[in-house]
Amino acid sequence: MTLLKLRVVSPEGYLNARQRPYGELVTQLPDGAIVEALEPTATVRVKVGQQGEWLRVRLPDGREAYLAAWYLQLLSSDAHSCPVWVHNPAAGCLNIRQASSLSAGRITQVLHEEELVALAAEVEVRAKVGRAGEWLHVRLPDGREGYAAANYFSLTAPAAPNPALAPAEEDKITITSALNSLQRKIALTWNRLGGRFQELAAELSINPGSAVAVWQVESCGQPFGPDGRLTVRFENHIFSDYWGKYHPERFAQHFTFNSQRRWLEHRWRRAADQPWQTFHGNQQREWEVLTFARGLDDAAACTSISMGGPQIMGFHYQLLGCASAPEMLALFASGEEHQVRGFFEFIRWQHADQCLRNNDFVGFAGIYNGSGQADNYGRLIEQAYETYRQLRTPAFPFAAPGEFAPAPMVEEDDLQRILGIGPRSAAQLNAEGIYTFAQLAAMEVAYLRELARGRRWLETWLVQARWAAWGDWESLAAFQKTVKESE
């Protein structure tokens, strides 16, 4: 395997090489030194130049060490292009336009996970990928060129599906342009994991659709993020319990949360003289916080995250047969097989399978998500479950596979379809990089309250956004009617 070469770019004139991230010093490298990356190519491309990331490298003298990735630059063999992959599972496709504008004419659509070539220096592409409002100049497989919204791309090649987890071909759900967003996501999850869901659900005498529904609600069916890393959520209040209470002054320098409602208002900062930042809803930032916390205490940091498709907390590692939370993190990161088995093992130990057996989704959510959010999560799980049942009904109107055409997609959603959001609020959200229903649904509650303080029906925006992102306009309309009538 050819190793990627990296150059040290440090304004201080040197860079510390450490035994582990934020660990003991090995040596110092001068500015301009060349090292070899010892991690997969896709991982290296994602991490290079990113604050808070670390890379395992081979030093010029042959020793191995970790370097801060934000002081490294990739030596690209082609300085004017690099591969990118479409990452838009919600719509299943991406518009390619004649210019970098939403008003520009559409050339064509390309499918989710299709590989294109970005026609710019790799450092410029990496700075744009995943960011709302940015555009990439791309070359299509047929040689045509166009422009596409950069926030729908990934620098990491999608993982090859594991055929051992999939259902039989005749049991798969045909994906057509007739499916809405929620239906498409559930179909993708089922077609990828349905075989194993069926096998393990039968052992607990539950409908496999229950597992699909929980997978969808917990992680939107995405156990791995656009950069190929495990989907995680770092919980400040849990890290406080496992590490912060023993190091209160240092914890207070870097982490904060609402002391009364501990799961809210999570913020962090790398240094005491820096401003506080939110990070929930952004996987790159989640990993930045996790990496920093692991430098303080690896076990406590991994204990404080929820992981993968089922979003199980690290402090449950023993229930899943792991010796530690870092071992659980590594296990879940190694593939979906372990995540699926971990999910069924977890609900068995928690006695939550009985609730799913009885279709008591609120009761299940009370065990799985906590009593404070049981009603909301229960309603969402039930909606996803009913959608799965509809898709698995033989009478459901499918088009023939050969008639497949991508569903129309837009780079921006009309946020004013959310009750309580007018032109001013929509513009305010856009200024914060929130352009789609999915992005709004993923926002941290406390951050939204701070951003849109005093707006009408604010407390319902995230629930409304989830239904809108799923394309379930009927449920959204019914919910909005209930909200209005409750005044």
Based on the domain organization, do 95 and 62 belong to the same domain? no
Based on the domain organization, do 31 and 68 belong to the same domain? yes
Kindly report, residue by residue over 170-202, the tens digit of the pLDDT: 999 987 767 777 788 888 899 999 999 999 999
Dig out the tokens for 217 from the structure. Answer: 């609600």
Based on the domain organization, do 67 and 119 belong to the same domain? no
User: Of 27, 47, 74, which marks where a domain is finished?
Assistant: 74
Based on the domain organization, do 419 and 476 belong to the same domain? yes
Decide if 39 is inside a domain. Answer: yes
User: Of 154, 171, 191, which marks where a domain is finished?
Assistant: 154
Query: What's the mean per-residue pLDDT of the chain?
Result: 85
Q: What is the pTM of this model?
A: 0.70
Beta carbons within 8 Å of 171's beta carbon, 6+ residues apart: 194, 195, 198
Decide if 12 is inside a domain. Answer: yes
Q: Which residue has the higher pLDDT, 227 or 306?
A: 306
Q: What is the DSSP string of 94-124?
A: EEEESSSSTTSPEEEEEETT-EEEE-S-HHH
* CB atoms inside a 10 Å sphere around CB 37: 23
Residue 449: exposure state from Cβ atoms within 10 A (0-12, 13-18, ≥19) = middle
Kindly report, residue by residue over 335-384, the tens digit of the pLDDT: 899 999 999 999 999 999 999 999 999 999 999 887 767 887 888 899 88
Residue 142: exposure state from Cβ atoms within 10 A (0-12, 13-18, ≥19) = exposed
Kindly report, residue by residue over 47-64, the tens digit of the pLDDT: 887 777 899 999 999 999
Confidence check: pLDDT of 220 > 90: no
Decide if 463 is inside a domain. Answer: yes
Kindly report, residue by residue over 445-461, the tens digit of the pLDDT: 666 777 777 788 887 88
What span, in angstroms and rounded, lies between the C-alpha atoms of 413 and 311? 27
- The CATH number of whichever domain residue 64 belongs to comes to 2.30.30.40
Q: How far is CA 40 from the centre of its chain?
A: 20
Model pLDDT, residue 289? 94
User: Of 154, 178, 198, which marks where a domain is finished?
Assistant: 154
Based on the domain organization, do 24 and 46 belong to the same domain? yes
Q: What is the DSSP string of 417-479?
A: GSTT--HHHHHHHHHTT--SHHHHHTS-HHHHHHHTTT-TTGGGHHHHHHHHHHT-HHHHHHH
Dig out the tokens for 448 from the structure. Answer: 């939204």
Decide if 338 is inside a domain. Answer: no
- The total number of structural domains in the chain stands at 3
Based on the domain organization, do 419 and 447 belong to the same domain? yes
Q: Which residue has the higher pLDDT, 127 or 290?
A: 290
Model pLDDT, residue 339? 95
Which stretches does DSSP call E strand in 75-223? 82-86, 93-97, 106-111, 115-118, 135-139, 145-149, 153-154
Using alpha carbons, list the distances in angstroms from residue 238 to 263, 264, 288, 289, 314. Answer: 9, 12, 17, 14, 10
Decide if 182 is inside a domain. Answer: no
Decide if 93 is inside a domain. Answer: yes
Model pLDDT, residue 176? 75
Q: Using pLDDT thresholds of 50, 70 and 90, give the confidence band for residue 410.
A: low
Report, in angstroms and rounded to the nearest whole number, the Rg of the chain calculated over CA atoms: 23
Decide if 347 is inside a domain. Answer: no
283, amino acid identity: Q
Model pLDDT, residue 228? 78
Confidence check: pLDDT of 1 > 70: no
CA-closest candidate to residue 73, choices 131, 123, 126: 123
Q: Using pLDDT thresholds of 50, 70 and 90, give the confidence band for residue 478.
A: confident
Based on the domain organization, do 51 and 113 belong to the same domain? no
Judged by average pLDDT, the poorest of 261-275, 292-306, 347-361, 437-451 is 437-451
Q: What are phi and psi of 14, to 5 degrees?
A: -155, 165
Dig out the tokens for 436 from the structure. Answer: 């789609």
Based on the domain organization, do 91 and 45 belong to the same domain? no
Domain limits for position 450: 415-486
